[in-house]
Amino acid sequence: MQDSADRHRSIEEAAYLLYVQKGRLDGDDLSDWFQAEKVVHEVSLTASGAGVPRRKTVTPKSKIPAAKKTN
């Protein structure tokens, strides 16, 4: 897990990359920052496994006992 300084630095870097990708246009700094926060948060959840949905375990039909027939 990242500490506060590392997280802030990651957001700064991500916001700067967004700024560069958009052609270094001024005026979207707050929007870039919020987008960067979202990206860093999602990456940290995925890295910790918290944001990854768990797969449901399914028993194959071949392993389920057949129902007994009643006459």
Helix ranges, the chain (H)? 4-21, 29-48
Distance between CA atoms of residues 49 and 41, nearest Å: 12
Number of alpha carbons in the 13 Å side-chain half-sphere of residue 34: 3
Distance between CA atoms of residues 8 and 16, nearest Å: 12
Mean pLDDT by groups of 10 residues along the chain of 71 residues:
86 96 94 96 84 57 63 63
Distance between CA atoms of residues 33 and 15, nearest Å: 5
pLDDT value at position 33? 96
pLDDT value at position 66? 61
Name residue 23's amino acid.
G
Listed by start position, the domains of the chain span 4-48
